[in-house]
Chains A and B, each alone.
Chain A
Amino acid sequence: MSRNPYVREVPRTTWYMRNRRYIRYMLREVTCVFIGLYAASLTVGLVRLAQGPGEWAVYVNGISSPSGLLFSLLALGFACYHSISWFNVTPKAMRIPRGDDFVPGPAIISAHYIIWGVVSLVFLLMMGVL
């Protein structure tokens, strides 16, 4: 047999280093780790709150410490990256008919930002920050 097709192996662990698209994708995926950690931290806070004022104070001290703040900031950054990267691809998954055509992508993306802004505003109002 003269044929002998050559198969190029894909590196199983470092495949995403091959191009910037994959790196960008991995970065988007990795944001969930930080969002998950932040959610876990919030859950711990709830438990501490239930345990009493002493435990709650310890928790509040913990998250107000420099390292706690740094973590929150990092988590916020990743949450923003996560939201923005997903907002930007929503038009692919959502095709909303309008006339003979579809609602253009930028309009769908903008709508997401507007909703994000409104929801954030409502929360901040409810919490009395504003």
Chain B
Amino acid sequence: MSQRQITFEILRYDPETESEPRFQAYCVPCEEEWVVLDALNYIKDNLDGTLSYRWSCHMAVCGSCGMMINGEPMLSCKAFVRDFPNGGSIRVEPLTHFPIERDLVVVMDDFMDKLQAVKPYVIPKKKRTVEDGTYKQTPKQLHQYQQYSMCINCMLCYAACPQYALAPDFIGPAALALTHRYNLDSRDHGRPQRQEVVAAHEGVWECSFVGACSEVCPKDVDPAGAIQQMKIASTVDWYLEHLMPWRRK
């Protein structure tokens, strides 16, 4: 059987007894098909039960297990050990740009607040009842927003975004992509309400288009694209409002 001994250097932090994080190394016999999460589970079950991390589905859809793996934000359930250089160790750290609660667990409060701030729900023109039936939405209309509805809230994009690190008030990639998702949905009429957040300084204009968010996204959501499209739309809004005031409703 193809097994590999791999050393995992894992950032540990116990807030009750330590003042700062430290690395701890574990040697794990890895199967060829393993992902980093399997190795963490091996450590937890067999080497050190005190290691804390989040995980659940093991199929890249629950979004729990985002971590920095050799410096890259990745889902540990999708980071195959075979893809890392032979003989080298694998370094695992909690998602950067977030406070460390403990070991590989980060504090998510800021992200959750931002998610809520962008009103990520359908705001209809007129309340629809069950008797009215479903909306008509053509495959083309669905396609407009579908890509931006794939976000699993894994927060890898926030860990990749240097702007979020420097300006923590920035609403950030995932939440803005979600805003765009609802703005583009033919069932929704809430864009004016979301503009307050989007067009504000902490909204799309904080983004300097590094594009790292889209590169690390495990679901090809392309938040960078969503943000640039919203910048264009906001700019058009501004010109319409100031240069053609008669068009204002």
> Which positions in A face B, CB cutoff 8 Å?
2-8, 10, 12, 15-16, 18-19, 21-22, 25, 29, 89, 91-93, 95, 97, 99-102
Convert B89-126 into 0s and 1s, putting 1 for each residue whose CB lies closer than 8 angstroms to a CB of A.
00000001101110000010000000000000000000
Interface stretch, picked from B36-44, B128-136, B195-203, B206-214, is B206-214
Given the contacts A21-B215, A25-B211, A95-B229, A5 and B100 also touching, CB distance less than 8 Å: yes
Query: Which residues of chain B have C-beta atoms less than 8 A from A19's C-beta?
Result: 71
Whether B228 contacts A92 by the Cβ 8 Å rule is: yes
In chain B, what residue has the closest Cβ to A16? Answer: B162
Query: Which residues of chain B have C-beta atoms less than 8 A from A89's C-beta?
Result: 209, 211, 224, 228
Q: Complex formed: what's the CA distance from A26 to B15 in Å?
A: 36
Whether A15 contacts B162 by the Cβ 8 Å rule is: yes
* 1-43 of chain B: CB within 8 A of chain A: 13, 15-16, 20-21
- Say which residue of B97, B139, B225 sits within 8 Å of A92 (CB atoms): B225
Q: Complex formed: what's the CA distance from A54 to B101 in Å?
A: 71
Whether A3 contacts B101 by the Cβ 8 Å rule is: yes
In chain B, what residue has the closest Cβ to A22? Answer: B162
> Which positions in B face A, CB cutoff 8 Å?
13, 15-16, 20-21, 71, 96-97, 99-101, 107, 138-140, 143, 160, 162, 165-166, 208-212, 214-215, 222, 224-225, 228-229, 231-232
Q: Complex formed: what's the CA distance from A21 to B208 in Å?
A: 13
Whether B166 contacts A10 by the Cβ 8 Å rule is: yes
- Say which residue of B15, B165, B210, B232 sits within 8 Å of A6 (CB atoms): B15
Across the A-B interface, give the 6 residue pairs with the lowest CB-CB distance, nearest first: A92-B225, A93-B228, A5-B99, A4-B15, A10-B165, A6-B100
Given the contacts A7-B99, A15-B165, A100-B140, A92 and B211 also touching, CB distance less than 8 Å: yes
Given the contacts A10-B166, A92-B222, A92-B224, A2 and B211 also touching, CB distance less than 8 Å: no
Q: Which of A6, A10, A25, A99 has the most CB of B within 10 A?
A: A6
Q: Complex formed: what's the CA distance from A4 to B209 in Å?
A: 33
Query: Which residues of chain B have C-beta atoms less than 8 A from A102's C-beta?
Result: 143
Query: Which residues of chain B have C-beta atoms less than 8 A from A21's C-beta?
Result: 160, 210-212, 215
* Closest CB in chain A relative to B58 CB, distance in Å: 27
Q: Complex formed: what's the CA distance from A101 to B141 in Å?
A: 10
* Closest CB in chain A relative to B82 CB, distance in Å: 23
In chain B, what residue has the closest Cβ to A85? Answer: B211
Whether B20 contacts A6 by the Cβ 8 Å rule is: yes
Whether B215 contacts A2 by the Cβ 8 Å rule is: no
* Closest CB in chain B relative to A32 CB, distance in Å: 12
* Closest CB in chain B relative to A23 CB, distance in Å: 11
- Given A12-B166, A25-B212, A92-B224: 4 more A-B contacts, CB < 8 Å: A4-B15, A21-B211, A22-B210, A89-B228
* Closest CB in chain B relative to A120 CB, distance in Å: 25
Whether A100 contacts B71 by the Cβ 8 Å rule is: no
Whether A25 contacts B210 by the Cβ 8 Å rule is: yes
Whether B15 contacts A5 by the Cβ 8 Å rule is: yes
- Say which residue of B71, B210, B229 sits within 8 Å of A93 (CB atoms): B229
